[in-house]
Structure 1
Amino acid sequence: MVTLTVEAADFAYGGAAPVLSGVTVTARPGEILAVTGTSGAGKTTLLSAMAGLLPARTGEVAVDGTPLSGRDQAVSLGVVLIPQDNGLAAILTAAENVSVAVIAIGGSPADARRRTADSLEVLGLSGQANQLIDELSGGQQQRAAIARGLALHGDVLLADEVTSELDAANRQRVLELLRAEAARGAAVVLATHDPEAAAVCDRELHLADGEAVWARP
């Protein structure tokens, strides 16, 4: 499995002042790293950079020593992002959203069907597999996005506020699934404003005032 590193990096949008400055962090295989902070602290910015969506203004983001140059390269290196806005295609069913993603990374149709069924089942969505995304509740959509992320079997799994719309039982289920991903050797990063979710992670990086400070190294 692989390691994702951020080294002395500043992140900004366009010519604006940096959202985050001097960030250094390593996401290690077999662990869940919590990224915490208030709304607007830069959690999504950091995960976007880790996913190859936002280049560092200074410093570097790398996977096993290979600097990230964009999202396509990150995907090829096994970096999976479950975005905060779920990123699902509204015109597709829950199952189609998962299957299309698996096929896009080289999975066969048979493999896609198997992974789709398995991931929807563990998230309690087997009964909604053939429903359009627009027909699902907010919590169901969030679980469908998580199912898609899990089905990709990434070496790095970046999960951005994936428990925000879930009830207590489903939140616990998702945290257990993230732990299982770490147990198989993935490096898992969970951005969350939920202190209870952060508490079950192995380490915690707290973002505030444009800087990253270790709450639990």
Structure 2
Amino acid sequence: MLAVQDMTLGYGDGPTVVGAVSVVVRPGQVLAVTGPSGAGKSTLLSAMAGLLPPRAGAVAVDGQRLRDRDHAVERKVVLIPQDNGLAPILTAAENVHVALLASGVAPAQARRLTAATLDRLGLAPQADQLVDELSGGQQQRTAVARGLALSGAVVLADEVTSELDAGNRQRVLDLLHEEARRGAAVVFATHDPEVAAACEAELHLSDGAAVLRRG
């Protein structure tokens, strides 16, 4: 379970980006985080991932308050970032494989999971292509494949359908809902109202405030 408790966020000495937000995402649930550009969606997911310390309040996973990103990784919090975070000098398969090895998966199992997850994203033909050779949408799906392969207890997906066509957007959305059915707590930041409508709840950010809407 992911719990955000009266959390306020900002950068350095700058203004508050998100103020006093509280929300709980239970295993099996998908929460959409919506709002205009600059409203703080990526900021909120960064804090949920342990990358940004809150000015006030806390993020907890299964009752344990997150200290930093390393602690979040220990608690199996997976972040699929908006900028994809892929290593351009590696292939699509290597990007997934290396992440699995780093998480402690045995090499043979990591190879199997890499192939299976890329196939689920329709990327089997691109498995051995360098990231720099992939289109923006293919890179985005590779990042999703890497995140899903890690089988997190919490999956945070930041605008991961922005460069996808309708078919691949639905594919990714279906896979995120599959993660929830597996037992993950899923948070999906999106500009797309149709994507948000398919989630159990929506947290709308605007002018530093957060409003929770149930589906």
Partner of 2:212: 214
Q: Among 69, 79, 82, which residue is 1:71 paired with?
A: 69
How far 1:84 sits from its partner (Å)? 0.2
Q: Among 61, 74, 84, which residue is 2:59 paired with?
A: 61
Partner of 1:180: 178
How far 1:216 sits from its partner (Å)? 2.3
Partner of 2:136: 138
Distance in structure 2 (CA, Å) of the matches to 1:128 and 1:65: 40
1:197 matched to 2:195: yes
Distance in structure 2 (CA, Å) of the matches to 1:163 and 1:54: 23
Distance in structure 2 (CA, Å) of the matches to 1:41 and 1:216: 20
Partner of 2:117: 119
1:42 matched to 2:40: yes
**1:75-90 to 2 correspondences below 5 Å:** 75-90=73-88
Q: Among 126, 129, 134, which residue is 1:128 paired with?
A: 126
Distance in structure 2 (CA, Å) of the matches to 1:47 and 1:105: 21
How far 1:215 sits from its partner (Å)? 2.5
Distance in structure 1 (CA, Å) of the matches to 2:9 and 2:62: 20
TM-score in terms of structure 2 length = 0.99
Distance in structure 2 (CA, Å) of the matches to 1:17 and 1:175: 33
Distance in structure 1 (CA, Å) of the matches to 2:192 and 2:54: 27
**1:3-42 to 2 correspondences below 5 Å:** 3-42=1-40
How far 1:27 sits from its partner (Å)? 1.4
- Structure 1 runs of 4+ off > 6 angstroms? none
Name structure 2 gaps, 5 residues minimum: none
Distance in structure 1 (CA, Å) of the matches to 2:214 and 2:62: 23
Q: Which amino acid aligns with 2:21?
A: V
How far 1:183 sits from its partner (Å)? 0.5
Deviations 1:107-149 (A, max 9, x none): 1111110110011000000000000000000000000000000
Deviations 1:9-67 (A, max 9, x none): 11111111210110101111001100000110000000000000001111111111111
Distance in structure 2 (CA, Å) of the matches to 1:39 and 1:9: 20
Distance in structure 2 (CA, Å) of the matches to 1:14 and 1:211: 19
Distance in structure 1 (CA, Å) of the matches to 2:20 and 2:40: 13
TM-score in terms of structure 1 length = 0.98
Distance in structure 2 (CA, Å) of the matches to 1:27 and 1:53: 19
Q: Which amino acid aligns with 1:124?
A: G
Q: Identity rate of aligned residues, in percent?
A: 67
1:154 matched to 2:164: no
1:169 matched to 2:167: yes
RMSD value over aligned CA atoms? 0.7
